[in-house]
Chains A and B, each alone.
Chain A
Amino acid sequence: MATYNYIEKAIQVTRREFVALTGVAAAILWSGAYAITDVVEDRNKYIKLRTAGLYKDDEKSALRQSHKNKSLMDMYAKLANKPLSPVAEKLFHTQYVDRTKLG
């Protein structure tokens, strides 16, 4: 006949200790999860900062529309007359190539 040994577990955890350990475990898991969301949150932060930098440059510009660029208009007067003129077509426009058959 089999004999059974009914000795209790060697590690004894009282009810108070159990509550405390649960608390510590929860705190560790919580701060880990928090750190991960932080990493995910920060992932694109530099993109947003750079974008904000450009919009700041826009906002502080005295002129915010391309057709108000005086030097550009001056260049058109001296070189290309107006947009889509023959000189502008030559210098500022291009044709595209079907590159599905390379070589």
Chain B
Amino acid sequence: MFNELPLVIFTIIAQMSVGSFVVLGLIHLFGARAGREVIDKVSDPALYAIGPVLVLGLLASMTHLGTPIRAVNALRHVDSSWLSREILFGLLFAAIGGAFAFSQWFKWLTPRLRQALAGLAALVGLALIWSMTMVYLLPTVPAWDSWATPVRFFATTFLLGSLAVGAALVVTADVRRRRAAVADDASEAVIMSSLRGIAIGAIAMLGVEFVVVPLYLGKLATDGSPATAASSTALSNTYGGYAVVQLVLVFLGVTLLGVFLSRLAKRFSTARLLAIAPVAAFVLVIAGEIIGRMLFYASYARVGL
């Protein structure tokens, strides 16, 4: 359960980073009406947080290695190994995304060019998630070699990405509100509409997980081969308790978001209370996703010996 913690941290962080980046991009796209300056002001802090977190994730992945000092060797087999490709896209995403962040910070290039850079980074980020998925589609590991793997990885990407952005937005706004003497209605409006979209998107992603996971577990349980039986036992019996905890956390997160959404529908009464919801939802759901990822690794069982 705990022996692949570095990979749990890396994959969760990488997926959350790409998801956050994409969601921020969507906010820029759909929030164009509010004006570039407002959008930038609202979303840049979240953007700048992605980089360090991603670096942390990459460093975490290195602690999985037996000889991390040669980690760069992992780029040497791009023509055959999805792991090589994953590392390549990971580094490219960090580089291009970083280039975008720096250019955003220092206002280099033109807004259009910066936008193109961001778009490229987003595409590379999605390629990273796809590579990550393919790493686990090993014909010798039936528990992982399933359509459920890419579905769940991408669901995690957008789920954590959107909730992380949501939490970042409200925290940023909260901090600013306390510092500033003047209310910033334009920002607040962007944030509110973003949060609405985020909540709906997150609930949708959770819905996908709620449908996919039982289907996947059912198939695993009935397949009959020794490897799938071992994986099934790990998930249902040995670590069944953790699976329940994961479900509870995710369910609580959904509930919170639902409540939040309904409150948003009426004009918000207490700003404070509302700020807690996206943050709490993020914490609950990422805890659940971490457990889910640990269960993913715990379900490892190989065909043959």
A binds B: no
**B residues neighboring A (CB under 8 Å):** none
**A residues neighboring B (CB under 8 Å):** none
